[in-house]
Structure 1
Amino acid sequence: MLLTGAQIIMECLLEQNVDTVFGYPGGAVLNIYDALYEYQDRIWHIRTAHEQGAAHAADGYARSTGRVGVCIATSGPGATNLVTGIATAYMDSVPMVAITGNVNVDLLGLDSFQEVDITGITMPVTKHNFLVKHIEDLADTLRQAFQIAQSGRPGPVLVDIPKDVTGQKYEYQKQQPLPLAPPPSPSEECLQQAAQMLDKSKRPFLYLGGGVITSGAAEEARTFAKRLDAPVSESLMAQGAFDAHDPRYMGMLGMHGTKTSAEALHNCDLFVAVGTRFSDRVLCNAGLFARHCPILQIDIDAAEFSKNIEVDLRVEGDALEVLRSLLALLPQKEHPEWMQQVAVWQKQYPLTQTAASGAAPKDIIETLDRLTDSNAIISTEVGQHQMWTAQFYKFRQPRQFLSSGGLGTMGYGLGAALGAQAANPDRKVVNIAGDGGLHMNCVELATAAHYQLPVVELLINNSVLGMVRQWQKLFYGSRFSQTMLDTNTDFCKLAEAFGVKAYRIHNNEEIEPVLKQALAEKGPVLVDCWVDRDVNVLPMVPAGASVENPMLEM
Structure 2
Amino acid sequence: MKAEATRKVNSAPRTGADLLVDSLIEQGVDTLFGYPGGAVLPIYDAIYRAEGSFDHVLPRHEQGAIHAAEGYARVSGRPGVVIGTSGPGATNLITGIADAMMDSLPVVIFTGQVAKGVIGTDAFQESDVMGITTPITKHNYQVQQIEELPRVVKEAFHIATTGRPGPVVVDIPKDISSTVHEAEVDSTFHLPGYQPNVRPNPIQINKLHEAILQSKKPVILSGAGVIHSKGSEDLASFAKNYNIPVVTTLLGLGGFSGSDKLSLGMGGMHGTYSANMALYECDLLINIGARFDDRLTGNLEHFAPNAKVAHIDIDPAEIGKNVPTSLPIVSDAKAALQALNNRTVSQLDHKDWIEKTSSNKSEYPLWHDDYEDKISPQWLMKKIHAYTQGESIVTTDVGQHQMWAAQYYSFHQPNKWVTSGGLGTMGFGFPAAIGAQLAEPEASVVAVVGDGGFQMTMQELSLLQERKIPVKIVIVNNEALGMVRQWQEKFYEGRYSHSLAQSQPDFVKLAESYEIQGYKLETKEDLEKVLPEVLNDPNPAVIDCRVMQMENVYPMIAPGKGLHEMIGVTR
Which category describes the TM-score, using the shorter chain as reference length?
over 0.9
Instruction: Render the CA deviation track for 1:483-504: whole Å, top value 9, x for unaligned.
Output: 0143142111112112221112
Instruction: Render the CA deviation track for 1:64-108: whole Å, top value 9, x for unaligned.
Output: 010010011000000000000000000000001000111111111
Equivalent position SS for 2:342 = helix
Residue of structure 2 equivalent to 1:348 = 363
Residue of structure 2 equivalent to 1:379 = 395
**Partner AA of 2:352 in structure 1:** E
Residue of structure 2 equivalent to 1:72 = 83
Quote the offset at 1:269 in angstroms: 2.1
**Partner AA of 1:270 in structure 2:** L
Residue of structure 1 equivalent to 2:168 = 157
- TM-score, structure 2 normalization: 0.94
Equivalent position SS for 2:159 = helix
Quote the offset at 1:204 in angstroms: 1.2
1:27 matched to 2:38? The reply is yes
Residue of structure 2 equivalent to 1:136 = 147
Indicate if the aligned counterparts of 1:23 and 1:48 stay in contact, CA closer than 8 A.
Answer: yes
Indicate if the aligned counterparts of 2:150 and 2:185 stay in contact, CA closer than 8 A.
Answer: no
- The whole-number CA distance in structure 2 between the counterparts of 1:544 and 1:410 is 25
- The whole-number CA distance in structure 1 between the counterparts of 2:382 and 2:186 is 50
1:123 matched to 2:134? The reply is yes
Q: How many residues align?
A: 554
1:303 matched to 2:317? The reply is yes
Residue of structure 2 equivalent to 1:102 = 113
Of 197, 206, 218 in structure 2, the residue corresponding to residue 204 of structure 1 is: 218
- The whole-number CA distance in structure 2 between the counterparts of 1:91 and 1:532 is 32
Indicate if the aligned counterparts of 1:446 and 1:499 stay in contact, CA closer than 8 A.
Answer: no
Equivalent position SS for 2:494 = coil
Equivalent position SS for 1:142 = helix
Residue of structure 2 equivalent to 1:457 = 473
Indicate if the aligned counterparts of 1:228 and 1:334 stay in contact, CA closer than 8 A.
Answer: no
Q: Name the % identity.
A: 42
Quote the offset at 1:449 in angstroms: 1.4
- The whole-number CA distance in structure 1 between the counterparts of 2:341 and 2:554 is 36
Quote the offset at 1:15 in angstroms: 0.8
RMSD value, Cα: 1.7
- The whole-number CA distance in structure 2 between the counterparts of 1:233 and 1:542 is 20
Indicate if the aligned counterparts of 1:213 and 1:241 stay in contact, CA closer than 8 A.
Answer: yes
- The whole-number CA distance in structure 2 between the counterparts of 1:496 and 1:362 is 28
Distance 1:488 1:276, change over 3 A: closer
Residue of structure 1 equivalent to 2:8 = none
- The whole-number CA distance in structure 2 between the counterparts of 1:396 and 1:38 is 44
After superposing the two structures, state which structure 1 stretch, 111-120 or 1-10, moved more: 1-10
- TM-score, structure 1 normalization: 0.97
- The whole-number CA distance in structure 2 between the counterparts of 1:517 and 1:458 is 14
Unaligned runs of 5+ in 1: none
After superposing the two structures, state which structure 1 stretch, 228-237 or 488-497, moved more: 488-497
Residue of structure 1 equivalent to 2:556 = 540
Quote the offset at 1:178 in angstroms: 8.3
Of 49, 63, 68 in structure 2, the residue corresponding to residue 52 of structure 1 is: 63
1:259 matched to 2:273? The reply is yes
**Partner AA of 2:286 in structure 1:** V
Instruction: Render the CA deviation track for 1:442-497: whole Å, top value 9, x for unaligned.
Output: 11111221111110111000001000110100011100001014314211111211
Residue of structure 1 equivalent to 2:457 = 441
- The whole-number CA distance in structure 1 between the counterparts of 2:344 and 2:167 is 36
1:339 matched to 2:346? The reply is no
Quote the offset at 1:301 in angstroms: 1.0
Instruction: Render the CA deviation track for 1:383-442: whole Å, top value 9, x for unaligned.
Output: 000001110111111111111100000011111111111111000111100001011111
**Partner AA of 1:203 in structure 2:** K
1:229 matched to 2:243? The reply is yes
Quote the offset at 1:184 in angstroms: 4.4
Indicate if the aligned counterparts of 2:280 and 2:563 stay in contact, CA closer than 8 A.
Answer: no
- The whole-number CA distance in structure 1 between the counterparts of 2:419 and 2:252 is 10
Residue of structure 1 equivalent to 2:491 = 475
Indicate if the aligned counterparts of 2:108 and 2:157 stay in contact, CA closer than 8 A.
Answer: yes
Of 191, 194, 204 in structure 1, the residue corresponding to residue 208 of structure 2 is: 194
**Partner AA of 1:145 in structure 2:** A
Indicate if the aligned counterparts of 1:8 and 1:172 stay in contact, CA closer than 8 A.
Answer: no
Instruction: Render the CA deviation track for 1:326-357: whole Å, top value 9, x for unaligned.
Output: 11124154633322222221111111111557
Equivalent position SS for 1:147 = helix
- The whole-number CA distance in structure 2 between the counterparts of 1:155 and 1:489 is 36
Of 508, 513, 535 in structure 2, the residue corresponding to residue 497 of structure 1 is: 513
After superposing the two structures, state which structure 1 stretch, 108-117 or 520-529, moved more: 520-529
Indicate if the aligned counterparts of 1:273 and 1:296 stay in contact, CA closer than 8 A.
Answer: yes
- The whole-number CA distance in structure 1 between the counterparts of 2:355 and 2:190 is 50
Indicate if the aligned counterparts of 2:419 and 2:429 stay in contact, CA closer than 8 A.
Answer: yes
After superposing the two structures, state which structure 1 stretch, 497-506 or 269-278, moved more: 497-506
Distance 1:485 1:367, change over 3 A: same
- The whole-number CA distance in structure 2 between the counterparts of 1:252 and 1:192 is 28
1:147 matched to 2:158? The reply is yes
Quote the offset at 1:511 in angstroms: 2.3
**Partner AA of 1:95 in structure 2:** P
Indicate if the aligned counterparts of 2:481 and 2:499 stay in contact, CA closer than 8 A.
Answer: yes
Quote the offset at 1:2 in angstroms: 2.3
Indicate if the aligned counterparts of 1:275 and 1:319 stay in contact, CA closer than 8 A.
Answer: yes
